[in-house]
Structure 1
Amino acid sequence: MKFTIIGAALFLLQSFLLTEAKREATPSKPNILFIFTDDQDAKLDSIDYMPNLQKYLVQQGTIYRNHYATISVCCPSRVSLLRGQYAHNTNITDVSPPYGGYARFSRLGLGDNYLPIWMQEAGYSTHYIGKLMNEYTVNNYNNPKPKGFDYQDQLVDPFTYIYNTAVFSRNGEPPVYYNNTYQTDVIHAKARDALKRQRDTDKPFFLWVAPMAPHGQFFIGDNGSIETMPAVPATRHANLFKDVKIPRNPNFNPENQTKTASFWKDMERLNDTIVEELDEAYRDRLRALQAVDEMIGSLFEELEEQGKLDNTYVIYSADNGYHLGQHRSYPGKCSNIEEDINVPFIVRGPGIEKGKISDVVSSHHDIAPTLLALAKGDEYVPDWVDGGVIPLTKDLERHPKPVAKESFAVEFWATFNMAENYPSIKIVGPNTYKTVRVISDNYNYMYSVWCTGEHELYNLKDDPYELNNIYGNTHIQLRSRLDALIIVLKACRADNCRDPWRIIHPEDPSIKTLEDALHEKYDYHYTQFQKFTFGECENHYSASNELPHIGSHFINNITYIHTNSGSQAVFSAPRNQKRDETKPDLKSIPEDILGLLYLIPKPEQAGQFSLDEDYEKHSVPVPQELIDTHINWSEYGFYNVGS
């Protein structure tokens, strides 16, 4: 009996030790820190001026230089990321009502099933600090409170785009402003504190930090007008980079305009005075990013102090890019040029190669499923998600739902456009288009169909600055494949977005790439496809306006409808095109509302506080009168000047 007891005890001890050894050998779920800036370019060298970003991320991680936003404007791009979907599936296609904004996001129920909730289901504590999306305001900050966050501290409109007036709502509580502070510094302090709160917990965290920089600042005049101005740096950075200029790439303010679509072709060459102003705006963007860069250094130091850096993925990206003078453009985004859609995507963490540049093709809607794959939470990603898993690590290279191999769509809907920082300038030509990008080792194409019926095709492998539209000089074999690809991607859903060729070649699963499809034996197959066309130039997504639809995409497809006079054949033919180049009729902010805004002081220059002091002592409740007065900010053009 004695030996039996001893044997049993030894067996239990051995089992315990084996279990402990196995537990220690199995790494815990990784932490994830996601730093997400606003309007930061990947093509104009901005990351080169961020020393902490270079030290901690570029040198210790991988740059994914073929990462893209599929709609180049703030709110739709952020929702696309949060939901893992194209904008044509979220139906958030603008920055403000009626086709965009936080109220529409909530009304459509998009916040009931999205990234932070999936991360919580995967066992993570979730935290969000900074800008969430347009139209999250002092009036609707808790109507509803954003779901899925254990801790949230978000910027609220109408103060989001004012650098020296930092206004936040924490955890759905009434907003407060931080008197005499610089907004990015407050975000920095809140982010570091959020990390510090992870010191005594083993639960993995997902921390999303979203500074507004280097977005331009909104300026509200005493007459109630709203304009944009360049980014405002912290006072300590205001005199940096005095001799820096926008890179003078071949597409910068060219002597001869080479872009052919109506949106571009009539832009006049910028004079020397405007070029100097654009250079200064560029310098201000770099200066505003310095406070972000300081935050990066501080957050890495905190991760190192906690001993969690080796088990943390740190990701750096932006909602969309930005153009300044390219193809004679005034400041802004919203176009399909590389400066607007190609965004930084830099990753550091376990299994990520150091100091590497990757050519893997990916988009913002791929980020959510990728984060869940890193978190070992694939089962929480809904089947309707359009994105796939980016092969950041060797393990993810074998994931059953990978990103699209080489292609993605870029889309936009607008009947007018305005230049940021230049309110009197109207961009002629509607800005509604569908673009398909196809990138591989052997080719790099950008193919666009505009609502005006115009086409652009650029071979970016030989022409990276989009100087030579080869649409009219390209063999029909290539054009036919790209036409078919855009028909699928313009309205794709879920796995059709990740593998569009299976829709184009349903009976031949061997076709996975454009190169596969270009074989001459498929030439006849492509003669059957209709050409993609818009019915008219509309400012929102309408499936019936973008033809043909899959299922009726062959030329010989005819749908019969019954009329009083009998059956009538109806073809997917374009309707008359409409061009609305007028600016919206915007009101000035009336005096009584201006009076409410002035209840929050707006210092010319924000003071600097030490991270070691209690920054909350600077917080002051937003006056209740402003919270209780419902204001439709879009009515005054608040989001039409560069959100």
Structure 2
Amino acid sequence: MFEIMAEKRPNIVVIIADQFRHDMFSYANGPFKVNTPNIDKLAKKGVMFTNAYSANPTCMPNRASIATGRWPSVHGTRTNGVTFDQNAETFMRTLRRSGYKNYAIGKLHHQSMGWAWEDYQIDEMRLRNPEVLEKIRDSINRGEGDWQSWEDAARHRKEYLSMPKDYYGYDHVDLVVGHGDNPSGHFHHWARSKGVSIDDLAGWKNSTERSETVEDVYISEVPAELHPNAFIVEKFRERLAELKNETDPFLFFISFPDPHHPFAPPKSWFNKWRENEVEIPANFFSHASNSPAHIEAMYGASGKQNIDSTMTWAPTQNQMADVLKAQFAQIEFMDNALGEILSSLEASGKGDDTYVIFSGDHGDLMGEHGLMLKHFVHFDAVTRVPLIITGPGIEPQKDTRLVSSVDIAPTVIELASAEKYRGIQGKDLLSDHTSWRSALVIEEDQPFGIEGLPGPVKIRTLVTEDYRFTVYGGTDQAELYDRSKDRGDLANIYADATTERSEAYERLTHELINLTEEGIAPIAGA
């Protein structure tokens, strides 16, 4: 592939954009006319992996997979709300042991933010998955000093919390808890220190310009200089300045809460889009044939958001236009903040010794197949993410191998020449693997379901060069798309393609067996 050229142990900066799909930047030549010069700059000078997938298209599970190099069924954070094991081996911890100074800035989401379930979700869990409710009650009744409450939004609003040392391997954390224009965490206290009450400006209720038909779309009254993006840039500059005279290498994990919903850009970034027409994705009107019952139910409720507005739904064309305008503004604002971070890194004199890894934790339908958001569907718009690596010795190129978010951890460890720990399932992306994987698995588990797909939900998807195969556990529903002929996943051939179906089941079985836990080593023969 290419040779790592750093003469000394390099610095490493990992940057994650939240809910950012693989083609949401200009250089990717996707369906959206959005201006992202800074992501484009990274893509043009580094290696861009064009077939990168999330191990799980949900925030908490995939963020734990990025940190550990393991699939969610192995590291245990299978769904949002399941606290990431405080003792888990992570690439941050192994770098820390080898002498790196580790910083995290932005949204981590390794623990619950304290959001409540909707009543209908609790009712379904009480009926189908009652033991989960016991865990929920335990969580609600936990003490504020409990390890699981370090990212609790309400707790952070009450007081400034200094995070524990070795928080999953980080020496210092500047935390953002949540999304939009008024998240919690250290951001909340930073904003107050500027002499402004964000609570009086932020949110749908304070906006003077908002969508009347989509709950999570509004133009924020919070100025750009008080937005979480500004907090992230300022804290990066502060921490980088602290390292001016350090000789040991550093690791930064920088995580933007944008462009995750709510779609609430500052006015200064929305002005460009206010009067502009946006182009709806070409396949907005192209619904996949023979779709599973829950996807058909979404189409049947077109224009109506779910009670839980974070769940996948089918917007009208006008609703989608409202969303895209706000979302494009968020993307361009986030890209600008990324540019400030990269410029600060170069100005520090440390840029030449630094590898930068840019990715997303999962995607967003953004109108593909007439749907938006994520959950319960495994179209590429949800499961595929950007993955770009730049740094010493890396030449511009596009890499078409099947890669996963679990590959980030072993890659960082290799770049740092740190000790690899047992149980890593991902692969080092920068080594010259003559035998790379020909298939990968995507997992999704939810403790509740939706119309047409009762909970608890277990979805497993197999992706190969030739097809995408998705199985919904406990049901007779599945999807099979021949990607040699149908790259857009428009014709579900599961019911008719008996030979291909049998081959896909066999392949999926083998891949799932290969994901068996290997982290715990035996200490004796019996």
Q: Fold conserved (TM > 0.5)?
A: yes
Query: Which of 28, 34, 42 in structure 1 is aligned with 2:8?
Result: 28
**1-side partners of 2:288 and 2:439: how far apart?**
28
Deviation of the 1:336 alpha carbon: 1.1
What CA RMSD, in Å, does the superposition of the two structures yield over aligned residues? Answer: 3.0
Which runs of structure 2 are paired with 1:368-379 in the superposition (5 Å)? 368-377=409-418
8 Å contact from structure 2 (residues 47, 395) kept in 1 = yes
Paired residue type of 1:362 = V
Query: Which of 262, 274, 282 in structure 2 is aligned with 1:249?
Result: 282
Name the structure 2 match of 1:203: 248
For the pair 1:470 / 2:450, whether they are aligned, the reply is: no
Query: Which of 442, 446, 453 in structure 2 is aligned with 1:429?
Result: 453
Paired residue type of 2:105 = I
**2-side partners of 1:427 and 1:287: how far apart?**
32
Name the structure 1 match of 2:298: 267
For the pair 1:121 / 2:86, whether they are aligned, the reply is: no
Q: Secondary structure at the match of 1:85?
A: coil
**2-side partners of 1:26 and 1:62: how far apart?**
17
Name the structure 1 match of 2:306: none
Deviation of the 1:309 alpha carbon: 2.1
Q: Closer, same or farther in 2 for the Cα pair 1:350/1:487, shift >3 Å? A: same
Compute the TM-score of the two structures, normalised by the length of structure 2: 0.73
Paired residue type of 1:359 = T
**2-side partners of 1:323 and 1:247: how far apart?**
12
Deviation of the 1:413 alpha carbon: 2.0
Compute the TM-score of the two structures, normalised by the length of structure 1: 0.60
For the pair 1:385 / 2:451, whether they are aligned, the reply is: no
Q: Closer, same or farther in 2 for the Cα pair 1:436/1:212, shift >3 Å? A: same
**1-side partners of 2:483 and 2:433: how far apart?**
29
Name the structure 1 match of 2:271: 239
Deviation of the 1:308 alpha carbon: 2.4
Query: Which of 326, 334, 352 in structure 2 is aligned with 1:310?
Result: 352
Query: Which of 489, 499, 504 in structure 2 is aligned with 1:482?
Result: 504
Deviation of the 1:383 alpha carbon: 1.9
Which runs of structure 2 are paired with 1:135-534 in the superposition (5 Å)? 135=113, 136-137=151-152, 138-139=154-155, 146-156=167-177, 160-165=178-183, 167-168=185-186, 177=192, 179=196, 180=198, 181-217=226-262, 231-242=263-274, 243-245=276-278, 247-250=280-283, 252-254=284-286, 257-268=288-299, 270=302, 274-354=316-396, 356-377=397-418, 380-391=419-430, 396-397=431-432, 404-414=436-446, 416=448, 427-430=451-454, 431-439=457-465, 444-451=466-473, 452-474=475-497, 476=499, 478-490=500-512, 492-493=514-515
Structure 1 residues 365-374 or 269-278, which shifts more? 269-278
**1-side partners of 2:270 and 2:323: how far apart?**
12
8 Å contact from structure 2 (residues 26, 36) kept in 1 = no
Q: Closer, same or farther in 2 for the Cα pair 1:317/1:432, shift >3 Å? A: same
Q: Closer, same or farther in 2 for the Cα pair 1:54/1:38, shift >3 Å? A: closer
Query: Which of 65, 68, 78 in structure 1 is aligned with 2:53?
Result: 68
Q: Secondary structure at the match of 2:181?
A: coil
8 Å contact from structure 2 (residues 288, 491) kept in 1 = no
Paired residue type of 2:505 = D
Q: Closer, same or farther in 2 for the Cα pair 1:414/1:494, shift >3 Å? A: closer
Deviation of the 1:363 alpha carbon: 0.5
Deviation of the 1:473 alpha carbon: 3.4
Which runs of structure 2 are paired with 1:550-589 in the superposition (5 Å)? none
Q: Closer, same or farther in 2 for the Cα pair 1:257/1:409, shift >3 Å? A: closer
Deviation of the 1:437 alpha carbon: 0.6
Paired residue type of 1:237 = W
Name the structure 2 match of 1:42: 22
Paired residue type of 2:441 = A
**2-side partners of 1:278 and 1:389: how far apart?**
39
Q: What per-residue deviation string (whole Å, max 9, x for no partner) do you get for residues 353-394 of structure 1?
A: 22x3220221011110111011111xx222211111113xxx
8 Å contact from structure 1 (residues 69, 320) kept in 2 = yes
8 Å contact from structure 1 (residues 410, 435) kept in 2 = yes
Q: What per-residue deviation string (whole Å, max 9, x for no partner) do you get for residues 435-459 of structure 1?
A: 11112xxxx2101221212221111
Q: Closer, same or farther in 2 for the Cα pair 1:244/1:339, shift >3 Å? A: farther
Gaps of 5+ in 2: 28-32, 114-150, 199-225, 304-313, 520-526
Q: Closer, same or farther in 2 for the Cα pair 1:314/1:334, shift >3 Å? A: farther
Deviation of the 1:488 alpha carbon: 2.9
Deviation of the 1:412 alpha carbon: 1.4
Deviation of the 1:165 alpha carbon: 4.9
Gaps of 5+ in 1: 1-24, 218-230, 418-425, 498-643
Q: Which has the higher contact order (CA 8 A, sep 6+)?
A: 2
Paired residue type of 1:188 = V
**1-side partners of 2:495 and 2:290: how far apart?**
14
Q: What per-residue deviation string (whole Å, max 9, x for no partner) do you get for residues 47-89 of structure 1?
A: 7634332453022122211111021111111011111111111
Paired residue type of 2:294 = F
Paired residue type of 1:434 = R
8 Å contact from structure 1 (residues 73, 334) kept in 2 = no
8 Å contact from structure 1 (residues 257, 328) kept in 2 = no
Deviation of the 1:496 alpha carbon: 8.8
Deviation of the 1:176 alpha carbon: 7.8
Which runs of structure 2 are paired with 1:586-597 in the superposition (5 Å)? none
**2-side partners of 1:241 and 1:63: how far apart?**
28
